[in-house]
Structure 1
Amino acid sequence: MKKLALPPLARADGMTTHDYVFLRLRQAIMVGAFRPGTSLTIRGLAAALESSSTPVREALRQLTSIGALKLLENRRIQVPVVTPELFEELISLRVVLEQHAAKRAVAHITEHQIDQLVEMDLAIDQAIAEQDKVGALLANQQFHRGIYSISPDRIVLPMIESVWLQLGPVQGVAMEHVAELYVVDRHQEIIQALRQRNEEELAAAIGADIREGIGGFNAAAIASLLDAAAA
């Protein structure tokens, strides 16, 4: 059996094996490392993580309980298939939540933090140039998280990450085609709006970034991509 390839994740000092396994599997789902409909086994994941089965089993239980994975009747674990209807709903939620979080961050973000966003955006460009899809997705999430984590609203980032998690299975598939739609670097507009402390322009840039990126696919296009992924 071919060993699963999971995106790397730095392990913080003192982090338990249970927490590390959960966070690494969560990240893998979030960036589309598993295709929609893929069946996962404890043995296969334990081998990929170089872990025993116990923390993997607990992580799968947690991920199933929050809807990131699906428990089948035969007790197998499956990566959910994102329907076109659910996809459109999740994109709409992304726009609303991320615009809110970004606007709330405006009054609190520093110039140094904005400079860090510039560096993150350069990392995205480099990953794309190297055709590193997973690296580009991770860097893109770091960029957006770098804005939303500054919002004083503590609940909004976990809500946003929950939506990212549910969109994850289609992310890797869509990333293969997203360059066809995404022709304007909205991150530059986001950075400029942050420097100017302009909430409305920031919200517009965030919305455009989402809708012209993965959100630029309509229901028919997403259905075609999912069919191709399952083939």
Structure 2
Amino acid sequence: MTQAGEQTKESTARVPVHQQVYAQLREAVLFGELAPGQAVTIQGLIERTGAGMTPIREAIRRLTSEGALEFRGNRRVVVPLLTVDAIDDLIFLRESVETRLAEQAATHISARQIARLEQIDSRLDEAITRGDVSAYLRRNYDFHALLYEAAQAPILLDVANSVWLRFGPSMRVVCGRMGTQNLPDNHKTALEALHKKDAAAVGEAIRQDVTQGMEEIRDALREGTGFAEMID
């Protein structure tokens, strides 16, 4: 094992088990590995993670409080199904919060962070070309997460993280049906604006990016196709 690998292992070992389990289940929700409407038992989550009952319950409690899971009794939890009204609320939140984060990021971001964003966007393009929905979702998230972290606005970042947990599973379903070729990608416009330190242009590029993505989910719901049928 390399020194870097040893450091990573040691770093992971220092993270409390309950935090590791929470992060693992949060990622499963965020990237749609747990599908909307899909009931999962606590025992199933124990088998999935290899964790004990106590950290699983703590993770469920946190994710339920964040709106990412709903407790259904009989030791089952489910990822909530979105409604059109919920999508409209999420669009409002994303336009407001993420546009602001992008604008603030433009004034704080470093050249190294911009270079990293360009690398992520290149990998996102590769995922689109391959039709790799899972990679697209992860690279898209990585891009936004790094951009928003550069804003140095922890309160807004917490709100954005919570919102992503609510729409992420549904985005996975929609992308899985549509494929990747027609998915929104305004990242290059945002990158050009970041190089120019044009905060308004960065904000507008991200506003368009998030709005188009959410409208794909809303359109799927308005077509009358239930997510349960889409998953099937």
Matched, 1:55 2:55: yes
String of CA shifts for 1:110-164, please: whole Å, max 9, x gaps: 1121111000111212233333322221111110111110112221111101000
Letter in 1 for 2:110: T
| Alignment partner, residue 4 of structure 2 | none
Is the deviation greater in 187-196 or in 218-227? Answer: 218-227
Matches of residues 156-171 of structure 1 in structure 2 within 5 Å? 156-171=156-171
Distance 2:76 2:207 in 1: 37
Residues 123 and 161 (structure 1), Cα distance of their counterparts in 2 relative to 1, 3 Å cut: same
Matched, 1:155 2:164: no
Conservation of the 8 A alpha-carbon contact between 1:174 and 1:225? no
Secondary structure of 2:43's match?
helix
Question: Identity percentage over the alignment?
Answer: 31
Distance 2:134 2:163 in 1: 18
| Alignment partner, residue 224 of structure 1 | 225
* Residue 182 of structure 1: how far off its partner (Å): 3.1
Aligned residues: 221
Distance 2:56 2:73 in 1: 20
Is the deviation greater in 20-29 or in 55-64? Answer: 55-64
Distance 1:127 1:225 in 2: 27
Distance 1:98 1:64 in 2: 23
Is the deviation greater in 49-58 or in 143-152? Answer: 49-58
* Residue 225 of structure 1: how far off its partner (Å): 5.1
Matches of residues 83-102 of structure 1 in structure 2 within 5 Å? 83-102=83-102
Matched, 1:121 2:132: no
Residues 33 and 71 (structure 1), Cα distance of their counterparts in 2 relative to 1, 3 Å cut: same
Distance 2:85 2:127 in 1: 30
Distance 2:195 2:223 in 1: 35
Give the alignment's TM-score, normalised by structure 2: 0.86
Distance 1:99 1:32 in 2: 24
Conservation of the 8 A alpha-carbon contact between 2:128 and 2:180? no
Where does structure 2 lack aligned partners over 5 or more consecutive residues?
A: 1-7
Secondary structure of 2:68's match?
coil
Conservation of the 8 A alpha-carbon contact between 1:37 and 1:230? no
* Residue 180 of structure 1: how far off its partner (Å): 6.0
